[in-house]
Amino acid sequence: MKIKVLGAGLAGCEAAYKLASQGLEVDLYEMKPQKYSPAHKSENFAELVCSNSLKAARLNSAAGLLKWEMEQLNSVCVAAAKKHSVPAGGALAVDRDLFSKEITEKIKSHPLINVINREVTEIDPDEYTIIATGPLTEGGLYESIKSLCGEDYLNFFDAAAPIVTADSIDYDKVFSESRYGKGDGDDYINCPFNKAEYEAFYEALISAERAILHDADNPLKVYEGCMPIEVLATRGKDAMRFGPMKPVGLRDPKTGHRPWAVVQLRKENSKGTMFNLVGFQTNLKFGEQKRVFGMIPGLRNAEIVRYGVMHRNSFINSPKLLNNDFSMKNHPKISFAGQISGVEGYMESAGSGLVAALHLANKINGTDTVDFPEYTMLGALSGYISDPTVKDFQPMGANFGVLPPLDIYIRDKQKRYAELFYRSAKWFKEQGLSKSVPDIQL
C-alpha cells in the first residue's frame, strides 16, 4: 500500500519522512519545478517563504517546547534547523537555502519515498492521503478540497518582509545588539529612530500606495499573526512602537539611551550577506517599499534583493472538519497537515505533519496509537484545531495559553514556564520517547 502525501513543504516532508520511517511506501507529490506558487522561488523542498526564524529556542518557551517535542520524534525539520542555524539572539533562525537543501536530500534519498513532480488536481476520498499543500493551494485542488469540506472553507491574506544586502547598510547609522543581551549580543542590526524620524516614517507609511490584490476574496481579510506593517500602522501612531519596532531591551551606544523606536535586521543566511526586516511584512508597491523603507536609519541606500509580497493564504475550518489526529471526520482516509489545517508557523506546520503521519501509520500498521496529552504542545495544538467549541476559527501557533494550567500556581513566569516544559517532558520520558528530561537553567 502506498500513501499519498500532497505537497513537499515542511508539513509534507515531515509526514512523508515519518511514514517512511514506519515502513510505509509514500508517493510525495510536489508541483515544483513545473509550477510555482506566487511566493515560492526555489526548487528545494521545505522552502521558507516568509521569515527565516523558527521562533524562540529556549526550552521554557512555547516555541522551544514544541521543537523539543518534535526532536524526540526524530523531526527531520528540527534536525536540519539545528544543523544550519544562524545567530538570532534567543531565536532559532536558519540559513534557509541550506535548511531546505538538507531536507530535500533526505527526502529524495529515502528508499521508501517516491517523489512525483506533478500538480494534483483531484482527491480520491478512498485513498489514504495527507494534504499538506500549504496556504497557497489553488486551482483544481482548491476546488476539490472545497468540495470535500463544503462551505466550511476559509481564506485570508499573508505577507512577507523585504530582504536587503549586508554591504548596502550604512553602519554609521545602526548598531548591533540583541534585546537584553541575549545570544551573542550582536545577532541583530538595529536601526534606531528618534521621535521626529519615527513620526515622519509613520506618515509616509500610512499614505504609501499598496499593491492591488487580484483575488475574488477582496475585501482584504488579514491574519493577525503576519500582518502587513502598513496595516498595523493604521491602528495608531504608536502601534508599531509596541509591535515590531519596540525599542525595549536596547540601548544605542552612540547616545547611551533607548531609541524612540527601532527596526531590527536579522541575518538571512549563515554568511551574513543578507538581512531581513523583522516584522516588516508588507503589501506596498515595490517603488513605495524602496522610498518608504529608505527612510529607515541606515537603509537609505539599501539594496533590496527581495521585495515584500502579499498573497492569499487558505485554511479549512478544522474544528468542524477534523479529528485531533488531523483526519477528516467525514472522510477518515483523508488527513490535513500544515497551515491549511489551521496551525500557524513553520514548526507548528511541521509538527502537524508529524502527528498526522504518526496516527495514520499506526492506523495502517495496526499498532497502538500515541495520543499526545493536552499538556504537551503537540497535543494542545491538535486539540485546538479539532475543538468543536472554537468559534470564529483562526490559525493558532504554539503558545502557553493553549495548555491547561499547572495544579499549583507559580507566580514567577519563567519558573512557571519551566514547569510547563517539565510536565510535557516527563510524559515523553515515561512513554519511552525521550531518554531524559533536560534541566532548565533560569
Domain boundaries, the chain: 2-155+314-430, 163-308
Query: For the residues 146-172, what does the mean pLDDT come to?
Result: 84
Buried b vs exposed e over 198-235: b needs ≥16 C-beta within 10 Å?
beebbebbeebeebeeeeeeeeeebbeebbbbbbbbee
Residues paired with 159 in a beta bridge = 310
The confidence score (pLDDT) of residue 34 equals 83
On average, the pLDDT of the chain sits at 91
Report whether 211 contacts 284 (CB < 8 A): yes
**Over the stretch 293-312, which tens digit does the pLDDT of each residue have?**
999 999 999 999 888 888 77
pLDDT of 50 over the 90 cut: no
From CA 55, how far away is CA 62, in angstroms rounded? 9
- Please check whether the two domains, 2-155+314-430 and 163-308, share a CATH topology: no
Mapped to the 3 state alphabet, what secondary structure does 219-242 carry? CCCECHHHCCHHHHHCCCCCCHHH
* Residue, of 52 and 198, whose pLDDT is higher: 198
**Over the stretch 239-256, which tens digit does the pLDDT of each residue have?**
999 999 999 999 999 999
Residue with cell 523585504: 162
Give residue 218's pLDDT band: very low, low, confident or very high (50, 70, 90). very low
Least confident of 138-147, 262-271, 360-369: 262-271
**Over the stretch 31-43, which tens digit does the pLDDT of each residue have?**
998 887 766 778 8
* Residue, of 238 and 36, whose pLDDT is higher: 238
Query: Does domain 2-155+314-430 fall into CATH 3.30.200.20?
Result: no
The confidence score (pLDDT) of residue 65 equals 98
Peptide bond into 33 cis (omega under 30): yes
pLDDT of 30 over the 90 cut: yes
The confidence score (pLDDT) of residue 37 equals 75
Which phi and psi (to 5°) does residue 205 adopt?
Answer: -70, -45
* Full-model pTM: 0.78
pLDDT of 368 over the 90 cut: no
From CA 259, how far away is CA 246, in angstroms rounded? 9
Give residue 186's pLDDT band: very low, low, confident or very high (50, 70, 90). low
From CA 416, how far away is CA 412, in angstroms rounded? 6
Half-sphere exposure of 190 (CA within 13 A, CB side): 29
pLDDT of 220 over the 80 cut: no
**Over the stretch 116-142, which tens digit does the pLDDT of each residue have?**
999 999 999 999 999 999 888 888 999
* Residue, of 231 and 50, whose pLDDT is higher: 231
Give residue 216's pLDDT band: very low, low, confident or very high (50, 70, 90). very low
Architecture of domain 163-308: Beta Barrel (2.40)
